[in-house]
Amino acid sequence: MTTQPTLKLTPEMASRFASLALNHLTREYPNKIMHAMSSSADAQTPRQLHPIFYGSYDWHSCVHGYWLLLRLLDRFPDLPEAEKIVSVVTAHFTAENVAGEMAYLQQPQHNGFERPYGWAWFLALTQQLHEMTLPQAAGWAKTLAPMSRFFEKSFADFLPKATYPLRVGSHFNTAFALALTLDYARSVKHSALASTLEETALRWHLEDVHCQAWEPGGDEFLSPSLMEAELMRRVLPGDAFVTWFGRFLPDLAHSQPATLFTPATVTDRNDGKIGHLDGLNLSRAWCQRSLAGALPAGDPRATLLRQTAEVHLHSALDHLDSTYMGEHWLATFALLALEA
């Protein structure tokens, strides 16, 4: 494997990512809405349906577009885009707009809307606001609180009846959602939600062994195997995780399964589904870096994972804005990988 230089987040990268997000966050069209209708009265525009999260091509990408901007602003308060970020967030995070979003979420035909990916990203956004030192952030978090409570309850109601995990590499992946939501629950000290998430992860995954990693699928942006490991890294204490990880991917030190060590090939970035594979390379880099940090010092698997992460990251970073199909979301996963 060719050794790639280690990439780190720089102020220049942060400014680039912020500019990309500001370009799509309030761009209503093109738009792909996932919208259940009960009558002709439900035939409305994206902004009428979602007064905050109407941009970025789809609801969940708009949510994590705000997360991206706020996280970058927290890391780099002197960003050239800082004033614009604060202006856009202030204009959209209002009580009236939250009431509009809640009215949509509470309609019976929208039960399960954005489950679980959008739920998790909204709580990650809330976590970001709670952890920021920016003076306005506490007020924004308070404004969004009705939605935060709604999604907390959504997870609490759903997980006990979810007999099986979803082991896919798309928005329905449950390991990704639980990982982000567990970070949130611990950050805001919601112990009941954290316990439900931990118990669910253990019920679903504790006995998983010898993962075959038959991936990627042709439209995946998450690695089902690495994402599961990234969830269990959060759930199991250090030595217990190392033991579980060794059973789950027993041949990792020998670069097996081989598919996890080879960046996915993207043949058409104008095709939104095929373009997901750039996101797979970024999210793999995120998981590989994080998992490497959880292994003991001197563990050869850690070195291998870090090297593989750089290969994946380098393969995708130049394509964040190749087309709007990638521009509206890829920078979020680039940031996850760079910060890991």
Alpha helices in the chain (DSSP H): 11-25, 46-49, 59-75, 82-92, 95-105, 117-131, 137-158, 174-187, 191-205, 224-235, 238-248, 272-294, 300-316, 324-327, 330-339
**Residue 3 pLDDT class (50, 70, 90 cuts):** confident
Tens digit of pLDDT for each residue in 205-245? 999 999 999 999 999 999 999 999 999 999 999 999 999 99
Q: Which residue's entry shows tokens 């500019």?
A: 19
Q: Where are the domains of the chain?
A: 11-339
Contact 280, 218 (CB under 8 A): no
Please state the separation of Cα 332 from the chain's center in Å.
7
33 close to 42: Cβ distance less than 8 angstroms: no
Is the pTM above the cut of 0.95? yes
Q: What does the pLDDT look like over 82-101, one tens digit per residue?
A: 999 999 999 999 999 999 99
Summarised one tens digit per residue, pLDDT across range 121-145 is 999 999 999 999 999 999 999 999 9
Q: Which CATH number fits domain 11-339: 1.50.10, 3.30.460, 3.40.50, 1.10.3470?
A: 1.50.10
Residues 6+ apart with CB under 8 A from 207: none
* Region 325-329 average pLDDT: 97
Q: What percent of the chain has pLDDT over 90?
A: 98
List pLDDT tens digits, range 17-57: 999 999 999 999 999 999 999 999 999 999 999 999 999 99
| pLDDT of 5 above 90 | no
